[in-house]
Amino acid sequence: MPLLDADALAERAYAKVNLALHVRERRADGYHELESLFVFARNGDLLTGETTEDGSISLMLDGPFADALEAGEGNLVMKAARLMQERLGEKRGAAIRLTKTLPVASGIGGGSADAAAALRLLNRLWGAQLPSAELERIGLLLGSDVPACISSVTQMVRGRGEVLEQREVQGLTGMPMLLVNPGVALSTAQVFKGWDQQDRGPLDVGTLEDVIVRGRNDLEPPAIQVAPIIAEVLAQLHGQAGVQLTRMSGSGATCFALFDQSESRSAAAKALVAQRPGWWIMETEIGGA
């Protein structure tokens, strides 16, 4: 596959972070009823693409986590492209490059964000002009987190990912955030299987204080059972100066810490890099709503 031209269109696949994740019940369709506050980092994977006239869809992978993925039909970007092509009846194809900078199977929506970015990219590339709501409907066919990743803004997410409500939480936008993954890939299905089936109440947040005091991640205990090192990551983050909130994101194993100042975040990142050189660590901020 040739390198993409410099004028190829690009979309960023922003890392998704669950500031809180409440598991309420198992539904009749086998999915779990969830309530979660999603925020998005200002960093993530990068997708670029060009139109091809022969109708073919191709994917090239690069970046530090490219080796953890295959570029074939099982890749969520390829699945998104096929769905979009079918939905539009589009005769043209696309050559897509995914620069993978987020770890795989890590609880920060890497694959879902990539799929959402692919839908946005192809919507522009093929001049389809589908509204975001339609992209979200297509995205739900690919995964529960994909609809929220279409807009990549702070929002309450309910159901299995189909009920979205943009939410303005004062003080969140621009808040310094540190993401840490100890190099462990977790199966979402395995973590959910370990959930104790206890409904500990709804998620109702309007302020950062609500997120800290009332929020929780119900998947944290079963994830720690599968990968005990998550508890070490949380302890390391909790002990850093300037930390406002530390929690696991999604089904893990990535954990996050919110800081009062960027200097505190950077100092924590520097200390962790020195102490745990094998961990993946990303300094970022929460994106705007």
- Other C-beta atoms closer than 10 Å to the C-beta of 50 total 16
Domains with residue ranges and CATH for the chain: 9-166 (3.30.230.10), 176-285 (3.30.70.890)
- Encode 79-99: b = buried (16+ Cβ within 10 Å), e = exposed: bbbebbbebeebebbbbbbbb
* pLDDT tens-digit series, residues 144-197: 999 999 999 999 999 989 999 999 998 899 999 999 999 999 999 999 999 999
62, β-bridge pairs: 99
pLDDT digit string (tens) for 192-249? Answer: 999 999 999 999 998 999 999 999 999 999 999 999 999 999 999 999 999 999 999 9
Which bin fits 109, alpha (ψ -120 to 50), beta or left (φ > 0)? Answer: left
Q: What residues pair up with 281 in beta bridges, in sequence order? A: 180
The string of pLDDT tens digits covering residues 9-55 is: 999 999 999 999 999 987 788 777 899 999 999 999 999 999 999 99
Packed helices 76-88 and 132-140: angle between N→C axes, nearest 10 degrees: 120
Contact between 184 and 215 under an 8 Å Cβ cutoff? The reply is no
- The Cα 251–Cα 144 span in angstroms is 13
**Which of 45, 114, 145, 218 is labelled catalytic?**
145
- β-partners of residue 163 are 158
Annotated active-site residue 29? The verdict is no
Phi, psi of 109 (to 5 degrees): 65, 30
Which member of 16, 100, 114, 218 is catalytic? 16
Q: Which residues contact 127 (CB under 8 A, 6 or more apart)?
A: none
Is the bond leading into 223 cis (omega within 30 degrees of zero)?
no
Based on the residue annotation, tell me whether 16 is a catalytic residue of this protein: yes
Task: Look at phi and psi of residue 91 and say left if phi exceeds 0, alpha if psi is from -120 to 50, else beta.
Answer: alpha
Q: CA nearest 61: which of 16, 14, 15, 111?
A: 111
Query: pTM value?
Result: 0.94
